[in-house]
Amino acid sequence: MKYLLASAALFLLAVLGASVLPELSHLGASPDLLLIFAACWTAIRGQDEALLVVPLAGLFRDVSGSDPIGTSVLGLLPIVLLWTLKERAAIEAKFLPALVLAGLGSILYSLVTMLVLATAGDGVPFFHGLLRVVLPSALVNLLFTPLLYLPMHWLNPAPTPGLPGFGRSASF
């Protein structure tokens, strides 16, 4: 059931990302709600569930965008790989890792996409892309992460005690 709900949410976010969000461009970039959803899902639900939801998010993004099929799946997979670093650090918090996943995931997603497009023969201006696309999109995604994280945290069936995302030490 949770994967059906995740699929429906991803479909809705893909439609929003393809239709409405390009009009709401802030700092020269619009938020990538599918990437943010994948980062928040990974931070809240863990790597095992992320291995199914993150590629699904990439597939929805590929179908709703103009990049070659598979580009977004490759671009989003570093989110799952970054999560393994968090698990090795044994951090209880979930919100701060979600922010890190969204920020670093945005940067790595953009770099992987630029590499795939350059390999496909498209002329990709890497330096211009870093300054005008990668950094603004990472910043915008960081700013929009709490908007998706909080509802996803509240809908989590077994929320941890304390403030959302700050671990047990923050409980009052």
- Other CB atoms within a 10 A radius of the CB of residue 91 amount to 13
In a domain, 61, yes or no: yes
pLDDT, mean over the chain: 83
In a domain, 170, yes or no: no
Counting the structural domains of the chain, the total is 1
In a domain, 47, yes or no: yes
DSSP 161: S
In a domain, 84, yes or no: yes
Better-scored residue on pLDDT, 143 or 132: 143
Better-scored residue on pLDDT, 24 or 20: 20
In a domain, 163, yes or no: no
Q: Give the 3-state secondary structure of residue 124.
A: coil
| Strand-pair partners of 29 | 26
The identity of residue 148, as a single letter, is L
Tell which residue, 50, 80, 64, has the closest CA to residue 19: 64
For residue 28, the model assigns a pLDDT of 72
For residue 138, the model assigns a pLDDT of 92
- Indicate if the pLDDT at residue 89 is higher than 70: no
Query: How large a percentage of the chain has pLDDT more than 90?
Result: 34
Which of 13-27, 81-95, 109-123 has maximum average pLDDT? 109-123
Distance of CA 163 to the CA centre of its chain: 22
In a domain, 27, yes or no: no
For residue 170, the model assigns a pLDDT of 44
Q: 133-166, pLDDT tens digit by residue?
A: 889 889 999 999 999 999 998 888 664 455 455 5
Better-scored residue on pLDDT, 59 or 121: 59
Element (H, E) at 122: none
What is the distance between the alpha carbons of residues 66 and 132, in angstroms, rounded to a whole number? 19
- Other CB atoms within a 10 A radius of the CB of residue 70 amount to 13
DSSP 134: I
In a domain, 149, yes or no: yes
Q: Give the 3-state secondary structure of residue 29.
A: strand
In a domain, 25, yes or no: no
Query: How large a percentage of the chain has pLDDT more than 70?
Result: 85
What is each CA distance from 144 to 17, 31, 80, 112, 116, in whole angstroms? 13, 7, 20, 22, 26
Range of the domain at 15: 2-19+32-158
CB 83 within 8 A of CB 43: yes
CB 137 within 8 A of CB 106: yes
Which pTM does this prediction carry?
A: 0.83
- Indicate if the pLDDT at residue 22 is higher than 80: no
